[in-house]
Amino acid sequence: MTKSIHETNSDIRQTLGLDKQAPAHKKAKVWVVIVMITVFIAGILMVFYSNGDSSLQYKTAQVQRGNLIVTVTATGELEPVNQVDVGTEVSGTIETVAVDYNDRVKAGQVLARLDTDKLEAQVLKSQAALESAQANLLEAQANVFEARNELKRLKHARELSGGKVPSQHDLDAAQAALKRAWAGEAGARAQIAEARATLRVDQTNLAKAVIRSPIDGIVLERKVEPGQTVAASLQTPVLFTLAEDLTQMELHVDVDEADVGQVKEGQKATFTVDAYPDRSFPAQITEVRYAPQTVEGVVTYETLLSADNSDLSLRPGMTATADITVKAVEDALLVPNAALRFTPPAPKEKTPKPGGSLVGRLLPRRPRRSPSGRQPNSLANSSRRRVWMLRDGTPVAIPVTVGATDGSMTQVLAGDVKPGLPLLVDVVRSEK
């Protein structure tokens, strides 16, 4: 008959002697034995699973020979080569506007006109002032003529009387009168010059009431409407924005301070705009400005590139991304940058034999550190580097001297590598 669970537990307790009133040290020994058995079984399981067969598989990339192009990327905006803001120097009300957006204009063409009633009245007032000054000059000249004759008459009478008449006082008074007449004539002439200058200013203001185009070009912006009042005081109001020639555009990009040392005048470039994502436009650097621009702690330098826009597909204000070619190397020996960054894994320590201590098999050792404390193939700014190849299943280092890089491939100047040589770029562990 099958024993009950209670009877089975009772048999186990009897076997282990737990039902007996054993001393406390004997009970402790029993528990120590149980713990040791448990640890032993766990250790066996860990060793069993840790001894699974594993292997390393390497990814490789071949050394190539080809052309290397080093570029610097910068973003900016397209602008016309010559852009002019047309304003007005006189205040008034816009009477007519003769052009609109995208209209082509010639130099001297009328763009807008101001109401000229007030300006014309000012011109008439200045003309009247000039005529008055001219009349004053005639009067002053007559005074001079009269004073000169009087002085001449007194001198003649003195000669006839032998110096008796007129008196010296009368003669001096006549001379003073002549000088006052000369001064009046000079003042009248000055008034004429002043009135003539005032008239010229008023006539100029009247002429500037007609706003004309200073260049041949196209109207980019029109900021006025008929009936609008413009006030030219401390700052001239801008009425129109004209572009001289949209067939030639200028790209203004901001080059980072880390790259500006490689950018030179005359270098070729290509750029793209969002409006034509599948099209690349050629350009050439015309100027690299020395003035820095600092935005949120980032220092850049404005660089100008000229671009042909004969088909007028590019428009002012478009955001462009330019790739400036700063260096081109033909028929270079190239290695992937991943091969320069690769570092083989440290060799795995051998598993202790089954006869080793259980504690040593259960407790892992601390990994060994490299004496230098860093990866041996770190990406430092040095031309002395090394790559790795697989020889008899073991990674072998090859020292190389590197040159220019485009971010994915790097030129090799010296080293025991040749085209087609597979270099290690990554490692993959596979568990069997």
Task: Break the chain into its structural domains and give their ranges.
Answer: 21-51, 55-66+333-349+374-431, 71-81+245-329, 84-114+212-244, 116-208
**What does pTM read for this prediction?**
0.64
DSSP codes, 152-217: HHHHHHHHHTTS-SS-HHHHHHHHHHHHHHHHHHHHHHHHHHHHHHHHHHHHHHHHHTEEE-SSSE
State the CATH architecture for 55-66+333-349+374-431. Beta Barrel (2.40)
Instruction: Classify 377 as helix, strand or coil.
Output: coil
How far is it, in rounded angstroms, from Cα 97 to Cα 252? 33
pLDDT at 141: 95
Is 60 exceeded by the pLDDT of residue 3? no
How far is it, in rounded angstroms, from Cα 378 to Cα 404? 17
Which of 149-163, 279-293, 308-322 is the least confident region? 149-163
Instruction: Classify 289 as helix, strand or coil.
Output: strand
pLDDT at 394: 87
Is 90 exceeded by the pLDDT of residue 209? yes
Contact 422, 61 (CB under 8 A): yes
Count of Cβ atoms closer than 10 Å to residue 319 Cβ: 12
| Token couple for 256 | 């980072």
pLDDT digits (tens, 9 = 90+) for 331-363: 999 999 999 999 888 765 555 555 455 445 544
Q: Which CATH superfamily is domain 71-81+245-329 in?
A: Efflux pump adaptor protein, beta barrel domain (2.40.30.170)
Which of 16-20, 210-214, 230-234, 417-421 is the least confident region? 16-20
pLDDT at 41: 77
| Mean pLDDT, the chain, integer | 84
How far is it, in rounded angstroms, from Cα 64 to Cα 409? 9
pLDDT at 378: 44
pLDDT at 250: 96
Is 90 exceeded by the pLDDT of residue 100? yes
Contact 138, 184 (CB under 8 A): no
Q: Considering only the C-alpha atoms of the chain, give the largest distance between any 2 of them, rounded to a whole number of Å.
A: 188
Q: Identify the bridge partners of residue 301 per DSSP, sorted by sequence position.
A: 255, 292
pLDDT at 212: 95
DSSP codes, 350-370: PPPPTTS-HHHHHSPPPPPPP
pLDDT at 379: 42
pLDDT at 376: 46
Q: In the 8-state DSSP scheme, what is residue 103? A: -
pLDDT at 345: 83
Query: In this structure, what are the phi and psi dihedrals at residue 156, rounded to the nearest 5 degrees?
Result: -65, -40
Whether domain 84-114+212-244 has CATH 1.20.1250.20: the reply is no
Which pairs with CB-CB distance under 8 Å and at least 24 residues apart come from 257-264? 257/292, 257/299, 257/300, 257/301, 259/72, 259/74, 259/326, 260/288, 260/301, 260/303, 262/70, 262/72, 262/326, 262/327, 263/72, 263/288, 263/303, 263/324, 263/326, 264/288, 264/326
How far is it, in rounded angstroms, from Cα 264 to Cα 268? 10
Sort residue 373 into left (φ over 0), alpha (ψ -120 to 50) or beta: left
How far is it, in rounded angstroms, from Cα 415 to Cα 421? 12
Those residues whose C-beta lies under 8 Å from the C-beta of residue 274, and which sit 6 or more positions away, are 318, 319
| Token couple for 84 | 């002019």
